[in-house]
């Protein structure tokens, strides 16, 4: 990072401008308002910058189902673990996933038992691993939203280009707009406006939310991740709610365009097709997943390895499902900070560094700090 890019980044943390935005928010938040940030990175940024404590008390920020690890269904985690237990498989995954508990165990515990589980920083590293280990099949665990899915699609295309037969992806990808509709259909969800995810929107573009907005007419603002980005998006939402003029607005125009990243979207469409998916907390949502297209079936781990997993009830007392839809907050879960901690998590919201429970655990205490 050079000097000018550092100054650019610092400009979005300016304390005086933050005060201006906070005063504007205070002026307009004249009645109780409930906003949901749909992205785990937003949840984390809000806590890291101590934003919650600065906002007026009648403004409630709820964390939504925007942490990909958190919304991954237990059955999918069990399938990942079952794959890792195969002698002929090396499992490659992003790091957050390895501590997530399945019904009985986790990838981290299986790794200590001898399973070959590798943490990689990009799907291309997993392709490289497959080239180096022709004796094994490398299965990449595809967990994430539209932000990371194009890079995984590109890895599949690269593997095809190389003629690699021992690389495949277990796709548990999810898409954001479909989840927003499911949230609105849930009677337990009471939200006055959505802070829409910045990174996802860089890929899919503002127009991807158009149908959702037209169907529900709820205030929607895409926001960035620096403190001023978040405050500005909140200010725009509060203004819309106050004036009773819902709109789909772009609060992150330096990164998000109307149509998104066309190239990434093309790669995504070349490899994946929409499918029904189960979300932890939300249950099955039609068309909210990404499956590998039939013509690329040889890269689809779900097709190659017929993994049978049994449906298990969620851990007793775990409120992750309600936390993911903003119906409860982590301190309202009986397990929070007691049976469930980042060292020994019960539910996924405590595991992922972007999970709501992990954020509360790390940054928030009962005295209202953070």
The contact set with other proteins (CB under 8 A) reads: 1-3, 5-6, 9, 13-15, 18-19, 39-41, 47-54, 66-69, 94-99, 108-109, 112-113, 119-122, 125, 128, 143-145, 147-148, 199-200, 227-228, 231, 341-344, 353-354, 361-365, 367, 369-370
Q: Which of 103/353 has CB closer to other proteins?
A: 353
Half-sphere exposure of 87 (CA within 13 A, CB side): 0
Q: Which of 96/235 has CB closer to other proteins?
A: 96
CB of 352 to other proteins, least distance (A): 8
Q: Which of 105/186 has CB closer to other proteins?
A: 105
The runs of H, that is alpha helices, within 53-140 are 68-71, 74-84, 107-112, 123-132
Q: Which of 219/345 has CB closer to other proteins?
A: 345
Contact criterion met (CB below 8 Å) for 192 and 219: yes
CB of 231 to other proteins, least distance (A): 8
Contact criterion met (CB below 8 Å) for 266 and 238: no
CA distance 220 to 177: 12
CB of 173 to other proteins, least distance (A): 10
CA distance 149 to 153: 6
Cα dihedral across residues 81, 83, 88, 89: positive or negative:
negative
CB of 344 to other proteins, least distance (A): 4
Q: Which of 181/341 has CB closer to other proteins?
A: 341
Q: Which of 52/86 has CB closer to other proteins?
A: 52
CB of 311 to other proteins, least distance (A): 25
Neighbour-count burial for 330-356, b at 16+ CB within 10 Å, e otherwise: beebebbeeebeeeebbbbbbbbebbb
CB of 13 to other proteins, least distance (A): 4
Q: What is the DSSP string of 314-338?
A: PPTT--HHHHTTTSS-GGGSTTBTT
Question: Element (H or E) spanning 359, and its range?
Answer: helix 356-363
CB of 342 to other proteins, least distance (A): 4
Q: Which of 276/344 has CB closer to other proteins?
A: 344
Residue 43 neighbours by CB under 8 Å, 6+ apart: 37, 63, 66, 67, 354, 356, 359
């Amino acid at each position: 990072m050079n000097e000018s890019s550092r100054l650019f980044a610092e400009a979005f943390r300016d304390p005086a401008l933050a005060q201006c935005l906070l005063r504007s928010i205070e002026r307009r938040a004249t009645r109780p308002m409930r906003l949901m940030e749909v992205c785990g990175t937003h949840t984390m940024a809000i806590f890291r910058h101590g934003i919650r404590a600065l906002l007026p008390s009648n403004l409630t920020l709820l964390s939504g189902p925007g942490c990909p690890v958190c919304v991954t269904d237990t059955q999918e985690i069990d399938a990942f673990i079952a794959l890792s237990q195969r002698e002929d498989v090396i499992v490659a995954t992003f790091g957050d996933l390895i501590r997530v508990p399945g019904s009985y165990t986790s990838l981290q515990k299986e790794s200590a038992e001898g399973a070959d589980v590798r943490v990689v920083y990009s799907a291309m590293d997993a392709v490289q691993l497959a080239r180096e280990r022709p004796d094994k099949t490398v299965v990449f665990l595809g967990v994430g939203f539209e932000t990371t899915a194009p890079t995984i699609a590109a890895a599949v295309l690269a593997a095809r280009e190389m003629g690699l037969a021992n690389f495949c992806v277990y796709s548990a990808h999810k898409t954001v707009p479909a989840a927003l509709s499911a949230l609105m259909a849930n009677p337990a969800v009471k939200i006055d406006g959505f802070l829409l995810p910045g990174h996802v929107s860089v890929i899919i573009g503002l127009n991807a939310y158009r149908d959702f907005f037209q169907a529900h007419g709820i205030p929607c603002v895409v926001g960035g991740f620096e403190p001023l980005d978040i405050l500005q998006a909140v200010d725009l939402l509060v203004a819309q709610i106050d004036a009773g003029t819902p709109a789909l607005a772009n609060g992150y125009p330096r990164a998000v365009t109307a149509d998104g990243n066309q190239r990434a979207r093309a790669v995504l469409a070349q490899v994946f097709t929409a499918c029904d998916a189960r979300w932890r907390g939300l249950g099955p949502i039609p068309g909210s997943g990404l499956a590998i297209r039939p013509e690329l079936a040889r890269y689809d781990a779900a097709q190659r390895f017929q993994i049978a997993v049994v449906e298990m009830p969620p851990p007793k007392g775990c409120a992750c499902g309600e936390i993911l839809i903003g119906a409860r907050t982590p301190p309202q879960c009986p397990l929070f900070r007691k049976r469930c901690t980042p060292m020994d998590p019960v539910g996924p919201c405590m595991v992922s560094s972007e999970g709501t429970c992990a954020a509360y655990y790390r940054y928030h205490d009962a005295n209202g700090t953070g």
